[in-house]
Structure 1
């Protein structure tokens, strides 16, 4: 059986993207009923190919969550030329990606399933979503925050605490309201206003 594909280590081929899209669509449609057979049928590929690429069902789920989380892109900054404006712009772009992804139907579905698994003491999906979702997203922003601190543009003692402050300002109670079934729609204008306010508040707390 092949090793699970690591989205962080290699670019996906178009066919692999089709497979992960199919997996995401099936998760939204059928929740915990995702099977390798159903994904293979929807993506029009063989189960043997899925096992070769992803290893097993958990490997496929891991790659699917990684691919979804990768939509929150790591900010690109030039440490040698980092200034207040470029840092603020990068943090705001990250906040926009984070809020857009985390309030999308796919992320809400994945998080609902993960919470259900955790409550039922199932270790699979809950662990996968935790490790490859928010914890992976955290790893993308913390180096940027630390670069800002090293450039004397941000002040904080612990980058973990700084990230949690940032996450709380951006996400607020939106995620829990969606998880509990509230019909909450954020259009592009609402997202932009939300992240602009969150960014301003973060720099008020941690900016120099």
Structure 2
């Protein structure tokens, strides 16, 4: 069942709803796939009736949690009329930095481990929830920026999905799989910032249009 809440950013959540989702994230780290609505209600000090009203059911609650995590990866708005290489690079770099912060968090690691453990099982569809509201949703949010860059003559590509997948690979590299397998990798803010800048520079080297440099004055 789809969540009763459609979350694209913190502004759509009340502080009480944020408290509930924080409780879900903590329980997920502690309990893994044993998370229940009863446990969430107890931890968040609210009734199960309230949870069902807000989220529909356990799958709806998990969907809202994944959407909330994904909303932390922000996509900076770009002005198509004044888009240049500098502003495009800044938008991509911010996105990459947010992405690395999210995937390296304890809650994201716990969530993905549970999702992978039950991927493909008919009665446990957290894998599908994470895929649809995480990776696929973030792709849908960034592709308009990539297309704006192409329209402005800054990028060259035929397939926006392929371009996004390349950017995804440059940003994530082997970080996520290492974390999922138990590597105690703890990147600092400075390291994440450098990795985001490197991934953005590499992406622009691969997809940057030759006439984009002239248009942007760079």
TM-superposed deviation, 1:122: 4.9
Change (3 A) 1:2 1:201: closer
Deviations 1:125-148 (A, max 9, x none): 111111111111111110000000
Deviations 1:52-97 (A, max 9, x none): 0000010000000100111001221111211111011101000101
Tell me the secondary structure at the aligned position of residue 75 of structure 2.
Answer: coil
Tell me the secondary structure at the aligned position of residue 72 of structure 1.
Answer: coil
Contact 1:4 1:56 in 2 (8 A): no
Contact 1:117 1:124 in 2 (8 A): yes
Equivalent residue for 1:89? Answer: 90
Mean alpha-carbon deviation: is it higher for 32-41 or for 4-13?
4-13
Tell me the secondary structure at the aligned position of residue 156 of structure 1.
Answer: coil
Contact 2:92 2:200 in 1 (8 A): yes
**Aligned structure 1 segments of 4 or more residues deviating by more than 4 angstroms:** 119-123
Contact 2:63 2:129 in 1 (8 A): yes
Equivalent residue for 1:163? Answer: 164
TM-score after normalising by structure 1: 0.95
Structure 1 residue 8 and structure 2 residue 8: aligned? Answer: yes
In the alignment, structure 2 segments of 5+ residues that lack a partner are 210-218
* CA RMSD, Structure 1 to Structure 2 (Å): 1.8
Contact 1:2 1:53 in 2 (8 A): no
TM-superposed deviation, 1:4: 2.1
Count residues with an aligned counterpart: 208
